Amino acid sequence: MAGLSFLERLKAGEILVADGATGTNLQARGLPTGTPTEAWLFDRPDEVVRLEREFVQAGADIILTNTFGGTAVKLQGHGWGERMAEVNRRAVELARQAVGDADVFVAGSIGPTGQLLKPMGSMEPEEAEAQFAAQARVLAEAGVDFLVIETQFDLGEATAAVKGVRSVCSLPLVVSFSYDRGTRTMMGVRPQKMAQEMSALDVDVLGINCGRSLDDNLSALQELAASARLPIWFKPNAGLPKLDEENRPIYDVTPEMMGAYTNTWIAEGARIVGGCCGTTPQHLQAIATVVKNR
Amino acid sequence: MEEVLKEIFQSIIDGDQKLTPQKVQEALDAGLEPGYILNEGMVAAMSEVGRLFEEGEYFVPEMLIAARAMQAGLAVLKPKMVEANIQSIGKVVAGTVKGDLHDIGKNLVCMMLEGAAFEIIDLGSDVPPEKFVEAVEKNGANIVAMSALLTTTMPNMKTTIEALKAAGLRGKVKVMVGGAPLTAKYAEEIGADGYAPDASRAVALAKDLVS
Ligand code: B1M
């Protein structure tokens, strides 16, 4: 369905394949732990493009930019706050390069600020909103097809993110939460509550990414599907890692296992499927093969 | 157990920042020992909160609110502990390592250590090695207590230990570490003097290190 927009393709009933993990794959390729993935936009752009290209070859219809930690406040944790615009522009450029002529969308990834909002933490909601607005503006101007606010856990921060995005652009918008306590986020938010609050905002797709086990992710999907009227984005992690001798994470969910779940995800209501932490291009290929052979 | 201790316990579980200090005051007025109030009422409550979190009954907000209630109670208790002539048994420079903003566990450990009569110099979170070094020098600390919750920031514990070495302080100060992704083996590998899996064992370890 070449030439159609993201929302048009969803409307036409298509099941789309999103990409796999950025961070864990770059780490497996040598990104030192503790270094933000965004650093490789400048240090190893070839590796960033190679990974994204592998996802395209594996069957992804959507590539997310390497900008998960791309708000200025998050980048500042590594002293990169002032390079926010440069980082986000560069990431879109590299993703476009990886995608080339393929009929694949480039989506701008927006992750949490890494801080808690008041009264739990010290960040004002208005400050969070401004942070998200600034990142979204750069991503939009650099030409992403749509935006994905992901791995959210707090309704307040996610609301600030949506408001921030909406203050600068009207691109299609996905909001995805991480249920890392099973079917609750670490703040205790349930999928149903998330659906209710996020649907009241100007959001196009609701999602789940990066939780606990594949079964926990599936339970969260079922709960979300029961209350969501919007299309569902679903990128579970390949289970939780164990650490090897060198403290490198080992994910024991195989590509076959993820492939074996894919039809269930779709049957339970997922319209866009992919994977989060631990999902290699091989895992993604297993997922994409199931989707394309339906 | 005394009724008032049960009330302190419950007020912390409920995260009642007003009630906890009131009940601690009542317990003191009734002549209960500060150390007894601390351990039986407050530390026990925070362990219960930890259990509720592990079991998925409590989430981060409930845990943070409980910790604040505990802190409010501790503010009432502390002067009494000083009066009761429970002298400082050691100075601890504490912090979450560079790049890491998780401070809930570290704060609990600090509160417990404070309750156990350690003097705490809390450097907060995202603390670079040079700040640990500076604080140890300035305060003549006996212990450096580092926390890390991210696999990506754990190596900064090692960096800090090396900075202490480079500053010639490693022989003068004991290093203890903790945080969910750590293990005793890792602590040993990076050359720390001890590891504690939770706050109460952190107290036992700290006492051990200064004895
Ligand atoms: C010195 O001696 C000692 C001795 C004992 C010591 C000790 C020191 N320090 C601790 N102990 C021990 O005693 C304490 C009491 O018994 C214990 O302390 P703990 O700290 O273990 O336990 C606390 C009492 C309760 N536990 C906690 O407070 C941590 C809870 C979870 C939910 C968590 C929280 C709350 C937060 N987080 Co974050 N967070 C998670 C956690 C997931 C989980 N379910 O555990 C974890 C730790 N986080 C994680 C991540 C990835 C992140 N977080 C982030 C941010 C946050 C918040 C700011 C939102 C918030 C922190 C708020 C704050 N002010 O602390 C980001 C990083 C920010 C940063 N640079 O630090 C971010 C990167 C998320 C993002 N993508 O932005 C994961 C780490 C994975 C890993 N192993 O590397 C994580 C396991 C979640 C997950 N399931 O993936 C013991 O370990």
User: Which of A33, A77, A185 lies nearest to residue B151, judging by beta carbons?
Assistant: A33
The CATH number assigned to the domain holding A51 equals: 3.20.20.330
Count of structural domains within chain A: 1
A34 interaction partners in chain B (CB closer than 8 Å) = 99, 152-153, 155-156
Summary mean pLDDT of chain A: 96
Tally Cβ neighbours within 10 Å of residue A89. 18
User: Which of B61, B151, B155 lies nearest to residue A243, judging by beta carbons?
Assistant: B151
| Residues B59 and B110 reside in one and the same domain | no
Q: What is the pLDDT of residue B87?
A: 73
Question: What is the CA(A43)–ligand 1 centre distance, in A?
Answer: 29
Phi-psi region of B140 (alpha: psi -120 to 50; beta: other; left: phi over 0): left
- C-alpha A194/C-alpha A270 separation (Å) is 16
Tally Cβ neighbours within 10 Å of residue A202. 12
| Residues B101 and B195 reside in one and the same domain | yes
| Residues B142 and B182 reside in one and the same domain | yes
Residue A255 belongs to a domain = yes
Whether chain B has a CB inside 8 Å of the CB on A250: the answer is no
- C-alpha A278/C-alpha A23 separation (Å) is 9
| Domain termination residue (choose one: B83, B108, B124) | B83
Q: What is the pLDDT of residue B88?
A: 82
Residue A31: DSSP 8-state:
P
Q: How far does chain A reach from its first CA to its final CA, in angstroms?
A: 16
The CATH number assigned to the domain holding B47 equals: 1.10.1240.10
Q: What is the pLDDT of residue B145?
A: 98
| Residues B175 and B136 reside in one and the same domain | yes
A81 has a pLDDT exceeding 70:
yes
Using one digit for the tens of pLDDT, what is the confidence trace for B41-67? 998 998 899 899 989 999 999 999 999
A206 has a pLDDT exceeding 90:
yes
Q: What is the mean pLDDT of residues B13-36?
A: 95
Q: Predicted confidence band at A168 (pLDDT cuts at 50, 70, 90)? A: very high
User: Which H/E stretch holds residue B62?
Assistant: helix B60-83
Residue A1 belongs to a domain = no
A1 has a pLDDT exceeding 60:
no
User: Which of B60, B126, B186 lies nearest to residue A186, judging by beta carbons?
Assistant: B60
CA-closest candidate to residue B63, choices B73, B51, B75, B49: B49
Q: What is the pLDDT of residue A247?
A: 67
Q: Quote the ipTM score.
A: 0.88
Minimal-distance CA residue to ligand 1 atom 86 = A180
Using one digit for the tens of pLDDT, what is the confidence trace for B75-128? 999 888 777 766 788 999 999 999 898 998 998 899 888 878 899 999 999 999
For residue A107, the cross-strand partners are: A64, A146
Question: Hey, of A24, A247, A248, A251, which one would you mutate to test binding to chain B, going by the most B CBs within 10 A of its CB?
Answer: A247
Output the six-digit token pair for A252. Answer: 């024991």
B64 → chain A, closest CA residue:
A120
| Residues B23 and B101 reside in one and the same domain | no
Q: What is the pLDDT of residue A2?
A: 61
Q: At what angle do helices B199-210 and B44-54 cross, to 10 degrees?
A: 130
Q: What is the pLDDT of residue B171?
A: 94
Using one digit for the tens of pLDDT, what is the confidence trace for B156-167? 999 999 999 999
Q: What is the pLDDT of residue B112?
A: 84
Percentage of residues in chain A having pLDDT higher than 90: 90
| Residues B25 and B98 reside in one and the same domain | no
Answer whether B61 sits within 8 Å of A34, measured CB to CB.
no
Q: Predicted confidence band at A140 (pLDDT cuts at 50, 70, 90)? A: very high
B11 has a pLDDT exceeding 90:
yes
Whether chain B has a CB inside 8 Å of the CB on A181: the answer is yes
Using one digit for the tens of pLDDT, what is the confidence trace for A242-276? 877 776 778 889 999 999 999 999 999 999 999 99
B56 → chain A, closest CA residue:
A181
Count of structural domains within chain B: 2
- C-alpha A128/C-alpha B91 separation (Å) is 37
Q: What is the pLDDT of residue B86?
A: 65
Q: Are strands B91-96 and A270-273 parallel, antiparallel or unpaired?
A: unpaired
A77 interaction partners in chain B (CB closer than 8 Å) = 99, 101, 126
Residue A269: DSSP 8-state:
T
Buried b (16+ CB within 10 A) or exposed e, A1-30: eeeeebeebbeeeebbbbbbbbbbbbbeee
Q: Predicted confidence band at A241 (pLDDT cuts at 50, 70, 90)? A: confident
Question: What is the CA(A260)–ligand 1 centre distance, in A?
Answer: 32
pTM (2 d.p.): 0.90
Residue A106 belongs to a domain = yes
Q: What is the pLDDT of residue B114?
A: 85
Q: What is the pLDDT of residue B27?
A: 97
Peptide bond before A119: cis, by omega within 30 degrees of 0?
yes
Residue A226 belongs to a domain = yes
Q: Predicted confidence band at A43 (pLDDT cuts at 50, 70, 90)? A: very high
**Alpha-carbon gap: A184 to the closest alpha carbon of chain B (Å):** 9
The residues, any chain, with a CB within 8 Å of residue A218's CB and separated by 6 or more, are A236, A261, A264, A265, A268
B191 has a pLDDT exceeding 60:
yes
